[in-house]
Amino acid sequence: MEHLIDRAARDIMASKRTIALTGAGISVESGISPFRGKGGLWEKYDPEEYASISSFMKDPARSWTLLAGMLDVIKSARPNPGHLGLAELERMGMLKCIITQNVDGLHQLAGNTDVIEFHGNNRWLVCLDCGKRYPIEWVSPKEIPPRCECGSIKVKPDAVFFGEPIPPEALHRSYSESQNCDLMLVIGTSAVVYPAASMPQVAKRARAKIIEINPEATPFTTSISDYLIQGTAADIIPRIVARIKALASKTT
């Protein structure tokens, strides 16, 4: 393990343009459940029934039985050492941007300033009937589903539901950043949801190195990743940052 931490630190230091692609795994230590695997949300809830745009339009109240709990967790969640490590890498000038599939806003709370929210976010809500937007704090546990000022209960988090398109600007920038990086950190994603999962492939085709950080292997591990550092984001990322600092202090 230590040799892989050292290898990643050296690869990042040698890179001219490192970016990260993150998934639900990086927020697990902030108390947010992932979607797949043991304890994953999709074990308990069928995404087609609760998180697709067609089911939401038919019955917003049913989707809100899942959404209310999700929003509650996000409201009180704080960045963990994995998020904070990526923010530190940005401050050190060693991380250009983050493409995240997460909708929790924790990268921004940690201090990253260039975060592409591939699947939108749950910190804002929008009324699908009149377009009015509300911050997450506006949702009260006393009124689920929440009702817009216009009377509609079609108030939906600004996250991408199944059946909805990826926000065009996020998609466009993600492709461009993936094409132009020379190193991509792929952190805490099962790498099965497209088009997000095509970003490492785009980067690889552009000859970037791909480093995975995940307790488990993914479909990328034996296909396009250069190497997997097997462990949690909250453990591994701070260790890489510390190693970079140690190496940098030796050379100055």
Residue numbers at the binding site for ligand OAD (CB under 6 A): 23-26, 28-29, 34-37, 40, 47, 101, 119, 159-160, 188-190, 193, 214-216, 218, 232-233
Residue number, 17 or 47, with CB nearest to ligand OAD: 47
* Minimal CB distance residue for ligand OAD: 25
CB of 203 to ligand OAD, least distance (A): 16
Could you tell me how far CA 193 lies from the centroid of its own chain? 12
| Cα–Cα distance list, 167 to 159, 185, 192 (Å) | 10, 22, 19
Shortest distance, position 252 Cβ to ligand OAD, whole Å: 32
> Known catalytic residue: 172?
no
* Torsion angle defined by CA atoms of residues 194, 197, 200 and 206, in that order, rounded to the nearest 10 degrees: -10
- How does strand 209-213 pair with strand 227-229? parallel
In whole angstroms, how close is the CB of 178 to ligand OAD at the nearest point?
A: 16
What minimum distance in Å lies between the beta carbon of 212 and ligand OAD?
Answer: 9
Which residue is catalytic, options 3, 83, 107, 119?
Answer: 119
Q: Which is nearer to ligand OAD, 82 or 145 (CB)?
A: 82
Closest CA to 155 of 126, 194, 132, 184: 126
3-class state of residue 150 by DSSP: coil
Residue appearing with tokens 């398109």: 165
Q: CA distances (Å), 92 to each of 15, 86, 135, 217, 234, in order?
A: 13, 10, 31, 29, 18
181 vs 233, beta carbon nearer ligand OAD: 233
Q: Among residues 63 and 190, whose Cβ is nearest to ligand OAD?
A: 190
Enzyme catalytic residues: 119
